[in-house]
Amino acid sequence: MFRKIVLALTLLAGCATPQNKSASLEYLRDSRDFSTLSVYGGAEIAPKTRFFGNVDLNSPFNRADTTDLTRFNGRARLVRSVYNGFGLTTEYKDSVGDNNAIGGFGVSYSPVKGIEVRAYPLRTDGESQEVCLSFARIFEMGRFDPYVRGFFDVGRSGKNYSVGEIQVGVKTERGWRFGAEIRHSDVERRNGFGNPSIAVGIGVDF
């Protein structure tokens, strides 16, 4: 647990530097009676090279201790722009449980700012492949800016699977966000947990 917290704080501090200005802290309550504390951020670490990372710390399902953030998942990703929106990407993902850490290498495409598609045909387990979509947009309207963001991953590892989230909300001038999201996960569904679910909460951008 200590290592997860240190990783989350390191990600938050590293991506919130004056030069990068891209880090967020978020707390959400899921309709399945558990809580999620999320840290994520991104930065341009070299010309045409971007980093993104996130760590989600989840409490157990079904109204258990909300301070027991032992269920986790996270990822770290590098994207190198090559030509006209196309690029190369590598990613590392991990989650609670044994043998869930996996790396991938592939290609990316960003047709417009705020939308990116990535494909990972080469992964360290030697058998799975994955395609990912991520998107984010803020509609600037004054003191309260509506926003939408999310991701959707589709892949195959023994069985076909998909996981995704779409969040909508408003962001204040001071960086506070209030939002709601719909969540879907084939992994959780196969383990007997209801899907999809709704989560609401608060966040702050640094």
Domain 2-205 belongs to what architecture? Beta Barrel (2.40)
Between 68 and 76, the more confident residue is 76
Q: Would the CA dihedral through 43, 152, 165, 70 be positive or negative?
A: negative
pTM of the model: 0.85
pLDDT digits (tens, 9 = 90+) for 96-118: 777 788 999 999 999 999 999 99
Between CA 25 and CA 42 the distance in angstroms is 13
Between CA 174 and CA 153 the distance in angstroms is 31
Between CA 117 and CA 135 the distance in angstroms is 9
Domain coordinates of the chain in residue numbers?
A: 2-205
- Dihedral of CA atoms 142, 144, 146, 152 in degrees, nearest 10, equals 120
| Cα dist from 53 to 75, 146, 156, 190, whole Å | 6, 24, 23, 26
Q: What is the mean pLDDT of the chain?
A: 86
